[in-house]
Amino acid sequence: MKVAKFGGSSVASAEQIKKVCNIITADAERRLVVVSAPGKRCKEDEKTTDLLIALADQYLLKGSAEAELQKVIARYEDIAQNLNLGTDIIEEIRADLKARLAIDTNNPGLFMDSLKASGEDNNAKLIANYLQSLGIEAHYINPKEAGLLVSNEAGNAQVLPESYDNLYKLREKSGILIFPGFFGYSPEGTLVTFPRGGSDITGAILAAAVQADLYENFTDVDSVYVVNPNLVENPQEISELTYSEMRELSYAGFSVFHEEALAPAVRASIPVCIKNTNNPSAPGTKIIAKRQYALNPVVGIASDTGFLSIYVEKYLMNREIGFGRKLLQILEEEHVSYEHTPSGIDSISVILRANQLNAEKEMRLVERIKNELKVDKVEIERGLALIMIVGEAMHQTIGIAARAVSAIQRSNVNIEMINQGSSEVSMMFGVKEEGADKAVRSIYEEYFEKSYVEEALQNPYPVRS
């Protein structure tokens, strides 16, 4: 049994949905299908989820939103008409949306969750209806009835352990099962959504629950590339990644997967394959527990912006027991999470997402660190980008860091920080945001340009004994 998930671009129009249904019916093992809300049909278009957010915002503000409601319904009408479906499915969607608007608005978060989730929910009903119109046995699966139970955290739901036993029973159902992504229900029966992009999470949960042989994630690219194709022309494709490599790349800016999405599949050791809805014969990128290492120990390069550094300096810091704990406790009490903590003998830097600190919180944090820890210096540097170089084989290879540093130097970008995790799956470099793209291109040239690969074939990387 395979679980196949189709993202927003894959189900954005009637033409795309026809492709999806051809893919589903081409393989009898694709019996459990997760769908997103209709995405953009072109660059200037709006995602259905964005239309639903606008609908919810307007209704919360004014108590009515007829124009916004009609825009959402029009998206489904366009799809239904081009699939030659009757009006019944549109009337069902219209009634569903009006019922959601009638929900108590005293909890805006849960009201918003209900409206956002309708994008996936109604699209699943529509796609099941289309398959049935072709004479294929297909069933829309209600997540509540199926037992997808989640924590009651609006917009940030976490799957509850009992869901897996509940969802395993889906194996017993006949036909093709169309399951809406992005949301589940609390034990009290309240609809709650995963973080945005959470249809990937739904797919991974289902794959783990039914003990699938493969979790296929269909998107609009043939495979994962070693670097953002917006930065490098025709970058190399990645045929295989390990779970840990994909996690590192997702964290550092790869947009193929939501960074939490793989967790259920990883725990259940379900292999994942990223494939292209528009070119389903392409082999895609396989994500597995272990892989054969290629000549190049680096598998991918990712970068992300929007970080800041809190630099703290105190003479004899290393002799002060509990200093690090006290510093991180201040962050915890200010409800700030951190990403990395590179340190020296008398100094430590804490890297975190900049959007966590407004001017007031930043000033309070600096004062608390000064007064409570009696430090010599505390500075905050904004505008940082993190560049991640990833590959499990790097820990066996000498000279990887030296090559990366040389590449960044050639791009005329200054390195603000270097950090390597204890697992040695990745190396991280902090640079100013304005220099990140140049540095990434230079690193790509160092590790992946044809001339370099040919040189490596003649003079392979030295390997640690």
pLDDT in tens, 350-377: 999 999 999 999 999 999 999 999 999 9
The residue out of 261, 290, 323 marking a domain boundary is 261
Strands, E, within 262-393: which ranges? 272-276, 285-288, 300-313, 347-353, 377-390
CATH code, domain with 172: 3.40.1160.10
Residues 11 and 140 in one domain: yes
Burial of 91 (0-12, 13-18, 19+ CB in 10 A): exposed
pLDDT attached to residue 258: 64
What are the φ and ψ backbone dihedral angles of 276, each rounded to 5 degrees? -105, 120
Binding site feature residues: 5-8, 49, 120, 219-220, 225
Binding site feature residues for ATP: 5-8, 219-220, 225
Establish if 267 belongs to a structural domain: no
Residues 45 and 183 in one domain: yes
Residues 317 and 187 in one domain: no
CATH code, domain with 354: 3.30.2130.10
Question: What is the tally of structural domains in the chain?
Answer: 2
Higher pLDDT, residue 399 or 311 = 311
The per-residue pLDDT of the chain, averaged, comes to: 90
Q: Using an 8 Å Cβ cutoff, are 414 and 432 in contact? A: yes
Read off the pLDDT of each residue in 199-213 and give the average, rounded to a whole number: 95
When mean pLDDT is compared across 197-201, 272-276, 348-352, the lowest value belongs to 197-201
* pLDDT tens digit sequence for 290-312: 877 666 788 889 899 999 999 99
Read off the pLDDT of each residue in 83-110 and give the average, rounded to a whole number: 95
Establish if 247 belongs to a structural domain: no
Residues 332 and 207 in one domain: no
Establish if 305 belongs to a structural domain: yes
Residues 10 and 138 in one domain: yes
Closest Cα partner for 277 from 228, 221, 224? 221
Parent domain of 448? 300-458
Q: What is the DSSP letter of 393?
A: G
pLDDT band at 423 (very low <50, low <70, confident <90, very high): low
Q: Which amino acid is at 350?
A: V
Establish if 244 belongs to a structural domain: no
Residues 10 and 119 in one domain: yes
The answer on pLDDT for 465 being more than 50 is no
When mean pLDDT is compared across 10-24, 375-389, 421-435, the lowest value belongs to 421-435
CA angle (127, 132, 137) in 5-degree steps: 110
pLDDT attached to residue 253: 64
pLDDT attached to residue 169: 97
Radius of gyration of the chain from Cα atoms? 24
pLDDT attached to residue 181: 95
The answer on pLDDT for 462 being more than 70 is no
Establish if 275 belongs to a structural domain: no
Establish if 289 belongs to a structural domain: no
User: How far lies 39's CA from each of 44, 116, 155, 180, 430, in Å?
Assistant: 11, 13, 19, 14, 34
The residue out of 261, 287, 317 marking a domain boundary is 261
The tokens describing 452, both together, are: 């370099």
**pTM exceeding 0.85:** no
The answer on pLDDT for 164 being more than 50 is yes
Binding site feature residues for substrate: 49, 120
The tokens describing 269, both together, are: 């050791």
The residue out of 231, 261, 291 marking a domain boundary is 261
Establish if 277 belongs to a structural domain: no
Which residue(s) pair with 238 in the sheet?
224
Question: Distance between terminal CA atoms of the chain?
Answer: 43
**Beta carbons within 8 Å of 44's beta carbon, 6+ residues apart:** none
Q: Using an 8 Å Cβ cutoff, are 46 and 300 in contact? A: no
Burial of 17 (0-12, 13-18, 19+ CB in 10 A): buried
Give the DSSP per-residue string, 109-166. HHHHHHHHHHHHHHHHHHHHHHHHHTT--EEE--HHHHT-BB-S-TT---B-THHHHH
**Beta carbons within 8 Å of 154's beta carbon, 6+ residues apart:** 107, 109, 110, 112, 113, 192, 193
Residues 204 and 304 in one domain: no
Establish if 219 belongs to a structural domain: no
Residues 56 and 199 in one domain: yes
Residues 337 and 443 in one domain: yes
